[in-house]
Amino acid sequence: MDINFNKNEDHNKLLVSELQKRLAKVCLGGGKSRIEKHKSKGKMTARERIDYLLDNNAKSIEIGAFAGEDMYKEHGGCPSGGVVIKIGYVKGKQCIVVANDATVKAGAWFPITGKKNLRAQEIAIENKLPIIYLVDSAGVYLPMQDEIFPDKEHFGRIFRNNAIMSSMGITQIAAVMGSCVAGGAYLPIMSDEALIVDKTGSIFLAGSYLVKAAIGESIDNETLGGATTHCEISGVTDYKAKDDKDALDKIKTIVDKIGDYDKAGFNRIDAKKPTNNPEDVFGILPKSRADQYDMYEIIKRLVDNSEYEEYKAGYGQTIITCYARIDGWAVGIIANQRKLVKTTGSKTKPTEMQFGGVIYNDSADKATRFIANCNQKKIPLVFLQDVTGFMVGSKSEHSGIIKDGAKMVNAVSNSVVPKFTVIIGNSYGAGNYAMCGKAYDPRLIFAWPSAELAVMSGNSAAKVLLQIEKASLEKQGETFTKEKENELYKKIKDRYDNQASPYYAAARIWTDAIINPLDTRTWISMGIEAANHAPIEKPFNLGVLQV
């Protein structure tokens, strides 16, 4: 191993260590004192409920753990968006579980809470996965009601999705394990089956104080909307549970009897571990996002037996396209090659050097054709992003880079096989789009701690914005000293670098998670397994495309 490998390894392992520290903090929700208060009521925490419900020793992945990080500081914060979401297995069946965290503002819904819940439902709808709601929420966070209540992608969309999923035959089970008030009362009752925990669970459109204020009736919350009321008088709920564990056990018995699902039929054989050590990725991936490296070496650490079959190996070399298997599943990989590439010259096209991480005309053309082939053969697509964008300049423009880029974006947009996106390094500008960014509906999109998401790098953005600012000030007759230039450059770059951080993206659910690179195979495998629940219902069609 060379000295650069060791330096890279130290740097990337420190990033993973930082990730683990941040996750540990997130797992505390509203903090230790609120957890103790919550448990003093005889209730399990959101994470304890999910852990008890999911099968022991089975794999699971968490969606949106960093949702809301460093947001809503003026409101005391909203760790994990006040809700915990995991994809895992209940009685051997893959499900998605959504649990309100009542230690965070009594489980109230912030804007990011709504976005995160909608993401969970989107995953359930796309993959036809059973979804389980563990409800313990005070409803909309009133100080921010205008940002969560009325719009299309706000709180009401949850109940619309309940109805849509019901019509699609997607199993929905809800357990009321705490407060379930106002509009939130519709969520469990629009599910297929609803449970309620005696004495701690309650459902009503208006609590006792509001009832007293509105109509003058004096009544306690338990009589108004407790378990006995809804299981024996109103018939709103289907099962009464004596405590949290009893409710979760009942859910297990319900899930255990769900019939098998129609499969999409993605190809899978017995899984093989990579023969190249996956931990090598820490040394291969450079410390600087500007440095070159060989993406083939990353691929060898992700795929079964470290084997792949490359498509158009000698053409469009700044994008790698290859067939492989991940945990036994057949996949088509589209990856940005980060090495400087030397093209083979000819009489009509001289030899040239192409920059790694940049999409050229030929690489866009190759990727478009490969996407079409994978759709033809019903092979899921995996995008490994480390892209700085499309090539610019007169040569590329005259060669029709916009047209070739549009073809690739078209193919990504119209792909009907499931897509999975791993942001390894840079994810800049239109490169993010062409390599299946969040706007292009990947079934799962997740980042390594080394990722950066932005229109361009902080360095490039700072230089551009600095020139604009400098020109503006000089027009006003102000003197622009070198000291002032350096100060402004640093201010712009620091702000831009913060916004390019993978944690900034994860907080806003632009990605589903930040993960340890060693967990990449698990995420892709569980993602394809989820997608296999949903047969492809429409043919691949590129529309009007100038091939």
Checking if the pLDDT of 546 tops 60, the result is: no
Structure tokens at 128: 């036809």
Q: What share of the chain in percent tops pLDDT 70? A: 98
For the entire predicted model, the pTM comes to: 0.94
Q: Name residue 100's beta-bridge partners.
A: 83
Which of 364, 287, 203 is closest to 10 using CA atoms?
287
Residues 276-302 have a mean pLDDT of 96
> Are 272 and 307 in contact, with CB atoms under 8 Å apart?
no
> Are 245 and 515 in contact, with CB atoms under 8 Å apart?
no
Checking if the pLDDT of 507 tops 80, the result is: yes
What is the amino acid identity at position 490? K
**Which residues lie below 8 Å from residue 544, measured CB to CB, with a gap of 6+?**
none
In angstroms, the CA 490 to CA 495 distance is 9
Which of 43, 90, 87 is closest to 253 using CA atoms?
90
pLDDT band at 476 (very low <50, low <70, confident <90, very high): confident
Pairing of strands 419-428, 444-447: parallel
What is the amino acid identity at position 471? A
pLDDT in tens, 392-419: 888 888 777 888 899 999 999 999 999 9
What was the pLDDT predicted at 547?
52
What was the pLDDT predicted at 348?
61
pLDDT in tens, 212-245: 888 998 998 889 989 999 999 999 999 999 999 9
Checking if the pLDDT of 16 tops 80, the result is: yes
Checking if the pLDDT of 72 tops 80, the result is: yes
Residues 386-392 have a mean pLDDT of 90
CA 512 to centroid of chain Cα atoms: 1
Give the lowest-confidence range in 218-232, 277-291, 300-314, 514-528: 218-232
**Which residues lie below 8 Å from residue 305, measured CB to CB, with a gap of 6+?**
272, 273, 274, 275, 325
Checking if the pLDDT of 489 tops 90, the result is: no
pLDDT in tens, 148-206: 888 988 989 999 999 999 999 999 999 999 988 877 788 888 999 999 999 999 998 88
pLDDT band at 347 (very low <50, low <70, confident <90, very high): low
pLDDT band at 456 (very low <50, low <70, confident <90, very high): confident
- In angstroms, the Cα distances linking 398 to 300, 346, 360, 365, 407 are 36, 19, 12, 16, 16
- In angstroms, the Cα distances linking 413 to 197, 358, 543 are 45, 20, 11
On average, the pLDDT of the chain sits at 92
Q: Determine the 3-state secondary structure of 444 from DSSP.
A: strand
Checking if the pLDDT of 473 tops 80, the result is: no
pLDDT band at 443 (very low <50, low <70, confident <90, very high): very high
Give the lowest-confidence range in 309-323, 432-446, 530-544: 530-544
pLDDT band at 34 (very low <50, low <70, confident <90, very high): very high
What was the pLDDT predicted at 167?
96
What was the pLDDT predicted at 488?
82
